């Protein structure tokens, strides 16, 4: 009888061993997605690097875990937020809009920039910026 070994690491097993019994469901969703596709493909979908995905699966990511969680929940778990400018959008799309710099290419982009910086409850932008793209003194 020939035993075929797995050439690919089971990301769910790896995450469970690193996170223990308190592993969040979004980490399991991330690990399962990495099992279905490549880790690099999932990293692109959530707008993070492959090494960062690996660190999260290993429970060793030193960055903003809540932001990473939001990206996973939006891109892989179809969770949405209500945007004041667009209505229901995926959480990861919300985060992507918050990263965009001020640009006058079209009125929608300006409206999104301002919505992200003027009282949106989902914004993670520090209150040091005004609605024109500069920083307050």
Q: Tokens in use for 136?
A: 């307050």
The reported pTM is 0.78
Tokens of 108: 């929608």
- What does the alpha-carbon distance between residue 58 and residue 92 come to, in Å, rounded to a whole number? 22
pLDDT band at 8 (very low <50, low <70, confident <90, very high): low
Strand partners, 87: 83
Binning pLDDT at 50, 70 and 90, where does residue 3 land? very low
Per-residue pLDDT at 98: 94
pLDDT in tens, 82-109: 999 999 999 999 999 999 999 998 999 9
pLDDT digits (tens, 9 = 90+) for 48-77: 999 999 999 999 999 999 999 999 999 999
Provide the pLDDT for residue 134: 42
Q: What CA–CA distance (Å, rounded) separates 123 from 18? A: 30
CA distance 8 to 52: 18
Q: 80 in helix, strand or coil?
A: strand
Q: How confident is the model at residue 126 (pLDDT cuts 50, 70, 90)?
A: confident
Instruction: Indicate the average pLDDT of the chain.
Output: 88
Residue 113: how many CB atoms within 10 A of its CB?
22
Does residue 119 carry a pLDDT above 90? no
What pLDDT score was predicted for residue 9?
74
Residue 81 φ then ψ, to 5°: -130, 165
């Amino acid at each position: 009888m020939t035993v075929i070994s797995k050439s690919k690491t089971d990301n769910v097993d790896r995450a469970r061993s690193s996170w223990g019994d308190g592993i969040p469901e979004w980490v399991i969703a991330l690990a399962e997605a990495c099992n279905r596709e490549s880790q690099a493909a999932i990293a692109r979908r959530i707008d993070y690097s492959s090494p960062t995905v690996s660190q999260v699966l290993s429970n060793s990511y030193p960055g903003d875990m809540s932001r990473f969680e939001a990206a996973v929940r939006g891109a892989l778990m179809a969770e949405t937020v209500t945007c004041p400018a667009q209505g229901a959008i995926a959480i990861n799309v919300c985060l992507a809009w918050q990263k965009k710099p001020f640009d006058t290419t079209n009125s929608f982009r300006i409206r999104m920039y301002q919505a992200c910086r003027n009282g949106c409850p989902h914004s993670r932008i520090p209150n040091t910026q005004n609605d024109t793209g500069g920083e307050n003194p």
